[in-house]
Amino acid sequence: MNTPAFTTDTQNEAIVSATPALDLAGVTFHYGKKVALDSVSLCIKQGESVILLGPNGAGKTTLFSLICGLFAPDTGHIHINGKSRLNDARALAPLGIVFQSQTLDLDLTVFQNLSYFCSLHGISRSESKSRIEVALSRMDLLQRKDDKVRALNGGHRRRVEIIRATLHQPSILLLDEPTVGLDIPTRTELIEQIHRLPETQGCAILWATHLVDEIHDTDRVVILHESKLVKDGNARQLLKENGVDDFSALLQQVMNP
């Protein structure tokens, strides 16, 4: 009997789930003669929460810029959901991004900002309305949908940016220092909401930070230092393996071997 020339839905789902949300291999980048990233390799599974930890200047923002296409690596490859960022124009489609600098239009309402984003991704008006309302409800912002962004505090603006970055249902979400500048109660609430995103949105997360209190015990943590990826593992296990009690101590150990 001939083997069918197609796969079942279950087989297709298995193939998709086995495809990394993000795969970097041997990525190197220079600013002139200065090495910004040195042979960085990182593979993130579908639905995985990964904290990218490192001091300022370690290369975190450069890495994000390479992933989202602002720069091209000198060497190495970057695959997003199985597609080459360098060779396939569709590779950026399953990527969501929240930059460190806020990028919302302050004079549009929350709903207008989100609707405009949906239209850029070809999402129908009825579907975008449904997605926006569900996402706003999940982030406790539905009652603010008709407010201008200018009227929101910093924490609420961040939530809107996270919502916007997930409306097209990306396979991976990049978060570049998303809690910088927020007060402690707002940061605490936002940290918990971000940690729930793999479950509520079904996306993997690569979350760049230098704030160690944002790390949960179950997170995978990768540490970038002086352009190299020097540590990679489960948060609790990394502390145990390196004989320290917290990530402040581990960072000090990495920076002062």
- pLDDT, tens only, 67-116: 999 999 999 999 999 999 988 988 999 999 998 888 999 999 999 999 99
Q: Where in the chain is the domain with CATH 3.40.50.300?
A: 21-94+171-257
**With 70 as the cut, is the pLDDT of residue 10 above it?**
no
Provide the pLDDT confidence category of residue 234 given band limits of 50, 70 and 90. very high
- pLDDT tens for 26-70 read 999 999 999 999 999 999 999 999 999 988 888 998 999 999 999
CA neighbor of 106 nearest in space, from 143, 163, 147, 148: 148
Residue with tokens 């352009």: 227
> What is each CA distance from 29 to 22, 41, 101, in whole angstroms?
18, 13, 23
Task: Enter the CATH code of domain 21-94+171-257.
Answer: 3.40.50.300
Give the global pTM.
0.87
Partners of residue 207 on adjacent β-strands: 51, 175
Q: Which residues contact 215 (CB under 8 A, 6 or more apart)?
A: 51, 53, 221, 235, 247
Q: What is the CA radius of gyration of the chain?
A: 19
| Residue 147: strand, helix, or coil | coil
Residue with tokens 């992933």: 67
Looking at residue 17, what is its pLDDT?
Answer: 61
Q: What is the rounded end-to-end Cα distance, in angstroms, of the chain?
A: 63
Alpha helices per DSSP H over the chain: 9-18, 60-67, 110-120, 125-138, 154-166, 184-195, 197-201, 235-241, 247-255
